[in-house]
Amino acid sequence: KNQVEQSPQSLIILEGKNCTLQCNYTVSPFSNLRWYKQDTGRGPVSLTIMTFSENTKSNGRYTATLDADTKQSSLHITASQLSDSASYICVVSAREYGNKLVFGAGTILRVKS
């Protein structure tokens, strides 16, 4: 069973609209939760890292939230741009496994004009 589940698998939105991507995890206890952005054919780039004591973190138009009680995180993108088209990957650092990183399969976002 996947320990990090992301939804939806893919999403299409119009430029300028907002969207929210979801991440549910079963990894426990964990050190931190990360969101990465991966453009097609490129390596992932870090957007945010949150420890279990943080419940929100922003990076420009990207805002990540974390509810450690329900083991859920979301990534909210405001006023989307064409350049936001990418795969967004949720990653949980598992404290009991030496901080091993467990990767979700990602949500593919396409922003169209």
Partner 1 sequence: DGGITQSPKYLFRKEGQNVTLSCEQNLNHDAMYWYRQDPGQGLRLIYYSQIVNDFQKGDIAEGYSVSREKKESFPLTVTSAQKNPTAFYLCASIPRGGDPNSPLHFGNGTRLTVT
Answer yes or no whether residue 34 interacts with partner 1 by CB under 8 A.
yes
Q: Which positions ≥6 away from 20 have C-beta within 8 Å? A: 74, 75, 76, 77
To partner 1, the closest distance from the beta carbon of 33 in angstroms equals 11
Q: Are strands 10-14 and 107-112 parallel, antiparallel or unpaired?
A: parallel
Applying CB under 8 A, among 24, 31, 72, 85 the residue interacting with partner 1 is 31
Identify which of residues 65 and 104 has a Cβ nearer to partner 1 in the complex.
104
Applying CB under 8 A, among 51, 56, 81, 83 the residue interacting with partner 1 is 51
Q: Are strands 100-103 and 86-94 parallel, antiparallel or unpaired?
A: antiparallel
Applying CB under 8 A, among 23, 75, 89, 109 the residue interacting with partner 1 is 89
Q: Please give the Cα distance from 65 to 67 (Å, whole number).
A: 7
